[in-house]
Amino acid sequence: MGVKVVATNRKARFEFFLLEQFEAGISLFGSEIKSVRAGQISLAEAFVQTDGTEAWLMNAHIAPYEQANRFNHDPKRPRRLLLHKREIHQLWDAVRQKGMTIVPVQVYLKEGRAKVEISIAKGKKLYDKRQDIARRDQARELEREQKDRS
């Protein structure tokens, strides 16, 4: 069984320099995993918070599952991330530095289990974002020229 990407945080690569990446499991309720499998998850405003002993996925929106009746979940509740102690300590040490944060990059299903790819990130300045946009435009122009030649 392969990996099925369920949701990506497209703004993460634009807003941040992604430095080091980790794979973490997510502790979910039954109705939440059903919503995730249906693709009903958004990482647009999500971030990861840690206190040195545990890590939490905050502000990720998992839509309520239609058939879950009264046992449905709160869409924006904090969800515990399943990481090794040394990984949590690495994240904690990185976050204590100025300008560093932990950002969820994508959520995917791997062997039937929901996983989230998180990354230690440093915020980009406005001029860095402009350089990215300029590079993207140049690549697009080159692609168009190559397409016209063939």
pLDDT at 149: 82
* Cβ atoms of residues 39 and 6 within 8 Å: yes
pLDDT at 30: 85
pLDDT at 103: 94
Which two three-digit tokens encode residue 6? 């369920």
* Cβ atoms of residues 121 and 25 within 8 Å: no
Domain boundaries, the chain: 3-124
Q: Which CATH architecture has domain 3-124?
A: Beta Barrel (2.40)
Q: Which has the closest alpha carbon to 117: 51, 32, 20, 40?
A: 20
Tell me the pTM.
0.81
Which two three-digit tokens encode residue 69? 């009746």
Measured CA to CA in angstroms, residue 7 lies from 67, 82, 108, 137, 147 at distances of 22, 18, 7, 25, 31
What is the sign of the dihedral through the CA atoms of 51, 57, 58 and 64? negative
9 phi and psi angles, rounded to 5 deg = -100, 90
pLDDT in tens, the chain (150 residues): 688 999 999 888 888 889 999 999 999 888 888 889 998 999 989 999 999 899 999 999 988 888 777 777 788 899 999 999 999 999 999 999 888 999 999 999 999 899 999 999 998 888 778 988 899 899 999 988 888 887
Half-sphere exposure of 101 (CA within 13 A, CB side): 16
Separation between Cα atoms, residue 101 and residue 9, nearest integer Å: 15
